[in-house]
Amino acid sequence: MTPKIANWLGLLLVLGILADLFLADGTNLLFLAKKMYELMDWIAFWR
């Protein structure tokens, strides 16, 4: 991955997080965090 692509992806990620915080009070981030925790728990089971 080139630095230019990495910078654009990072910018899109930050803009998405800011948009969620301002438009939906971070509800979508909380949902994704819970799902990520469940995924990590499921992966740890198979370890």
SS3 2: coil
Across residues 24-38, what is the average pLDDT? 95
pLDDT for res 9: 98
Which of the two residues, 47 and 18, has the higher pLDDT score? 18
pLDDT for res 45: 79
CB–CB of 26/35 below 8 Å?
no
Say which amino acid occupies 3. P
pLDDT for res 46: 75
Q: In sequence order, which ranges of 1-47 are alpha helices (DSSP H)?
A: 3-24, 27-46
- Residue 27 pLDDT exceeds 80: yes
- Residue 47 pLDDT exceeds 90: no
Gap between the Cα atoms of 42 and 33, Å rounded: 14
| Stated pTM of the model | 0.73
Contacts of 21 (CB under 8 A, 6+ apart): 29
